[in-house]
Amino acid sequence: MNSRDQAQATPVRPEPASVRPEPVEGLTNPLAGASTSSARTESGSARTALRAAGVSRHHESARAQVAGGVTYIDDIPEVRGTLHAAPIFSPVAHGRLRGIDASAALALPGVRGIVDARDIPGDPVLAAFAHDEPVFASDTVQFAGQVVALLLADDTMTARRAARLVKLDIEPLPAVISVHEAHALESHVLPPVHVKRGDAAAALKRAPHTIEGHFEVGGQEHFYLEGQIAFVLPLEQNQWRVYSSTQHPGEVQHWVSHALGIANHAVTVECRRMGGGFGGKETQAGHLAVWAAVAAHKLQRPVKLRLDRDDDFLITGKRHPFAYHYRAGFDDTGLLCGLELEMLANCGFSADLSGPVADRAIFHADNAYFLEDVAIASYRCKTNTQSHTAFRGFGGPQGVIVIERILSDIARTLDIDPLDVRLRNLYSDEPTAGALRSFDKLRTGRAQGERGGSVRAEPTAVRAEPVEALAQRNVTHYQMKVEDNILEPLMTTLANTSHYRQRREQIKAWNAASHVIKKGMALTPVKFGISFTATLFNQAGALVHVYTDGSVQVNHGGTEMGQGLNTKVAAIVADELGVPFGQVLSSAADTSKVPNASATAASAGTDLNGRAAQFAARHVRDNLAAFVAGLDGCGAGAVRFEAGQVITPKAARAFNEVVRAAYANRIQLWSDGFYRTPKIHYDKTTMQGRPFYYFSYGAAVTEVAIDTLTGESRVLKVDILHDVGRSINPAIDIGQIEGGFVQGMGWLTTEQLVWNDKGTLQTHAPSTYKIPATGDIPEHFQVDLWPEPNREDNVHGSKAVGEPPFMLAISVFEALRDAVAQAGGKPEGMNAPGTAEEVLRALGE
């Protein structure tokens, strides 16, 4: 570690989450700069204390949410004549739809009608990019849970009771349920993708050691607290207002207008907040909005559609399950020499977002490690199940987990500590093995020529370049240079602060003495690329309005789902205008205010919308600065906005007073802002380029215990050191890290999706599908922040935090496999999730 790394290796350790108080004005920001030094001048500390960003503060809606004082879609007062919808869906996985008998349902009091594919005024196929998913199934049903029609009634319970009385005449057809069966049949929703660098086959042949394996990882239900819901109101002149619990209001607008056969401008979509999303409301929310809109169009009445939990499970897509086959070559130190990797993504019956999900799995198959000779084949398999969709990490976890598994198995093969194998394979500025071989060959040829040997070559052909000029281990397999790598100092710092080496020895001693309870431990990193891989989505817009009383409203294209986006954006705007945080209000996402907004996804919500809002606020500030500069006869650059004041070399005025004076002088007090992510470029045909603006990094140490008699497991201790850049709100960022880790822990331990051989999802309620509960949280759960700003020019020097921590939970799965190995089992055969049954199977019981 060099001196610069040593200076940055002291993590920022906030107060424990359980006792973290609400900050008050006057608190200094511990992350105001890259340095971890606490020394500051008085004036510097005072300026920092008055900033809104960089301070731990409550979520802007937290108090109201706890008191039940906030509005979700189902809380919006229903206008007179509102009808309630319930879905009618297929009970079989694949079949020919021959008829719908709704006579019994329509005879119930309060039932107002049924809506199916014949009632769609526009395109009967959803406006998804692959154009392969019908609004309502018409001729064929393709999974158990596919919606065929809606039943409309005066209230929700009547609609649901009536929907169960509808009889579907379906002729069963053969169904493909297994991803392996789909692959064998060449059943794909999209063409396969192959990414290669070097010669993996040759590298495997010359490798001193090789391992080969198969592995499967399951999907995951989003289990958002607020289920899927849409409320559609007909307006005048064939215009529509849609309230949707969605991460992508712009896409809902597009889908609804497409299905109704009208222009986008006739549909307005609004979302103030969601009760959780996790990717499950990126495309899936659009289905409900379209269904409700078609029903509202037919009956010319407002329609609300809210799925109950069981129906939500059965209808909506999940995280993509993956299956893998790999061959890896390595040397005596554990250094990877070559890798052949096959990924089978279970996409369900339609493409949805499976293409970019599977692409990101390819991009993250390296995780933190340099792959010199690699061949990756990705197959996007079509099965007769729900169409799988976005989920936190968006394919990244499915890429990261396989390389972490491989490195753990290499370490066990060589009897080397897994951390040392991981450190050995990290991206670095060292020359590649191929470059060194070429260097040695050229140098040998030159020496032979000088001795008069048989080798003859032109001087330029044998000139040996300096080692530092050779190809380095810092370029990904998709040709993006890793320029901001902090993993080696971050991982070694975490190993030291968590006492990793000492605890490994203690665990060995425990396992030697304990015959039933065995412990395991793992330290795994994450390197996660931040940006949409579809470059066009890396843009955002915002509006900032300053009212004559000095209060500020900001509207942006992002959506709030509990992650604190509006809190961060308000802080950014407050600092740009130099006003207190409480003076800024974030309003609902609304397609009539900011058009064509990208989904709030890819962990880029603050990066995009925060920067756009900052630019909008800056325009207003510049207008005010020019106005005040004219009053005081100074340059606009000499005007400062701080602590609710506008300060020039001649005078200090209250911000509110300046705003009133500016209005009286007809100065514009509102503006828009637009931002597009710089530097990124990506060729989808070659899978090469720079798809990400930067990487977020982190690492976690997890200790677990397993019961060798029952297979039950428990997470005992977790230590995390994570890179969020210069945090805009440390409390919110730590909450995201904790929540992401626990959600990832659930994916890899207890959350198991089970379809029977007929293609029906059996785990469709909390009684059969187990997310982590409070009792699963480890007693020791320490989260620290890496104290360095983003090296790229990102808003406030921050980094994204939504998705990267999810993959830190892979340390839980690798710790379970470590415990199985120390118990004498076969961890190489263990699939995810590591349920009690799976652990017991790996133990050979």
Closest-CA residue to 402 (of 742, 700, 831, 801): 831
Other C-beta atoms within 10 Å of 148: how many? 21
- What does the block give as tokens for 249? 């209001």
Among candidate residues 282, 340, 792, 803, the one labeled active-site is 803
Q: Is 29 helix (H, G, I), strand (E, B) or coil?
A: coil
* Cβ-contact 294, 300 below 8 angstroms: no
State the Cα–Cα distance between residues 526 and 814, nearest whole angstrom: 14
The total number of residues shown for the chain amounts to 845
- Tell how strand 552-556 and strand 539-546 pair up: antiparallel
Q: Is 656 helix (H, G, I), strand (E, B) or coil?
A: helix
- The span from the first CA to the last CA of the chain, in angstroms, equals 45
* Cβ-contact 444, 462 below 8 angstroms: no
Closest-CA residue to 245 (of 72, 394, 62, 126): 72
Other C-beta atoms within 10 Å of 471: how many? 15
Q: Is 154 helix (H, G, I), strand (E, B) or coil?
A: coil
State the Cα–Cα distance between residues 339 and 195, nearest whole angstrom: 12
State the Cα–Cα distance between residues 811 and 215, nearest whole angstrom: 17
DSSP H or E run through 721: strand 713-722
State the Cα–Cα distance between residues 50 and 208, nearest whole angstrom: 60
Closest-CA residue to 534 (of 662, 723, 363): 363
State the Cα–Cα distance between residues 544 and 554, nearest whole angstrom: 5
* Cβ-contact 804, 692 below 8 angstroms: no
Answer yes or no: 340 catalytic: no
What's phi and psi for 442, nearest 5 deg?
A: -65, -40
Q: E strands of 547-687, at which residues?
A: 552-556, 584-586, 589-590, 640-642, 645-647, 652-654, 670-676, 681-683
- What does the block give as tokens for 646? 């506008």
State the Cα–Cα distance between residues 32 and 13, nearest whole angstrom: 14
- What does the block give as tokens for 620? 């207003």
Nearby residues of 5 by Cβ (< 8 Å), 6 or more positions away: 486, 488, 489
* Cβ-contact 115, 102 below 8 angstroms: no
Catalytic amino acids? 803
